[in-house]
Amino acid sequence: MAKEAPKIEGYKGVWVFAEERDGGLLPVALELLSKGREIADKLKVELAAILFGYNIRHLVPELGAYGADKVYLADDPILTNYRGEPYASLMQNLIEQYKPEIVLIGASSFGLDLAPRVAVKVNTGLSAHCCGLDINQKGQLVAQVPGFGGSIMASIICPDHRPQMATVRPGFFQPQRKAGHAPSIIEVKVNLREEEIATKVIKVFPQPPKSPPIESAEIIVAGGYGVGSKEKWQMIEELAKVLGGRVGATRPPCDEGWAGEEQMIGQSGKTIRPKLYVGIGISGAMHHVVGIKDSKVIVAINKDPKAPIFQACDFGIVASFDEITPHLIKEFARAAEEKRK
């Protein structure tokens, strides 16, 4: 039997799940704290960080430095590794006890597992994969999500249930450090026993990245499905090489095996802020554009003059990429050689 919808009265405050890995906070936690601080100030309420793990008390000052007024701290050996059951159960208990009006969770692999579990447990809605958050005139959270194949940006509200929950992809907000902010600590008792948890962590196999994250690159050359083949994809890689940049991609090239998942840019991939972004054979669907919109300079190459990417770029070239890209490679290689001389 479904639970009755909770009353929205009595819910107050903004919470951010501060995800940690190996004793350090994930960047998305600091990004959401900064955005959460902005939202909390608009609503004139407190901002709290939710910190679960083991031997993590040393992270509390950093959470305060990024805007948290208080930290709900659950520090226990049973929380050493993320598992959905204990984490969701703890979060449910805290929400039902303290009644926050907004809960923000990073759309990491763990966050995407945790958020829907918690939403179901507390009988509320969840706006997933958000790329923007704001507060409307009624004081409601407005979550912005690309919809309908990326052709529109949908604004989602949760007017009848609390808390209002959202997951946000890493990279959409800029972390803003605030000096001299010392948060209070609320100790969370962890009344869980290992035998009560179905999932067990036997061993963790860390997989170090093969190369620096694409988010750190100052120059990115990205290709879309319009490139056409793995053979032609080599031109994308060569142009990136002569420019001293990294290769990015939309989802179709990753699905085709031309590029790796770690190179995917957009709502379901990485959010980037390079000094120069060059998009080749990319139509410019909203799902991709939300991941590149903060690039300093955007250059688009596409043979379709009506491609949506031209509405988002600073410089556009209407041409077949396989005709113009070899010339770009040649000229940039020549310029690089002259610079070395």
The pLDDT value recorded for residue 74 is: 94
Least confident of 69-78, 149-158, 213-222, 299-308: 149-158
> Would strands 24-25 and 20-21 be described as parallel, antiparallel, or unpaired?
antiparallel
Query: Which H or E run contains 119?
Result: helix 109-121
Classified as helix, coil or strand, 223 is: strand
Classified as helix, coil or strand, 245 is: coil
Q: Say if CB 88 and CB 115 are below 8 A apart.
A: no
Q: Which residue segments constitute the domains of the chain, with CATH numbers given?
A: 14-196 (3.40.50.620), 214-340 (3.40.50.1220)
The pLDDT value recorded for residue 199 is: 85
CA dist 220 and 295 (Å) reads 10
Q: Is the pLDDT of residue 219 over 60?
A: yes
Summarize the chain as % helix, strand, coil (round to 5).
35, 25, 40
pLDDT in tens, 177-217: 876 678 999 999 988 888 888 888 888 887 776 777 888 89
The pLDDT value recorded for residue 228 is: 87
The pLDDT value recorded for residue 1 is: 42
Mean of pLDDT values over 59-71: 93
- Looking at every residue in the chain, the average pLDDT score rounds to 88
The pLDDT value recorded for residue 202 is: 84
Q: Say if CB 168 and CB 131 are below 8 A apart.
A: yes
Classified as helix, coil or strand, 100 is: coil
Counting beta carbons within 10 angstroms of the beta carbon of residue 333, is it exposed (0 to 12), middle (13 to 18) or buried (19 or more)? middle
Q: What is the DSSP letter of 270?
A: B
pLDDT in tens, 111-169: 999 999 999 999 999 999 888 899 999 999 999 887 655 556 788 999 999 999 999 98
Beginning with the edge strand found earlier in the chain, give each strand of the sheet holding 141-147 in spatial order.
132-135, 141-147, 152-156
Mean of pLDDT values over 316-323: 89
Which among 5, 9, 102, 11 is positioned nearest to 50, based on CA atoms?
Answer: 102
Q: Token pair for residue 106?
A: 């990073």
Mean of pLDDT values over 266-294: 87
Q: Is the pLDDT of residue 297 over 50?
A: yes
Counting beta carbons within 10 angstroms of the beta carbon of residue 100, is it exposed (0 to 12), middle (13 to 18) or buried (19 or more)? buried
Query: Which H or E run contains 92?
Result: helix 84-98
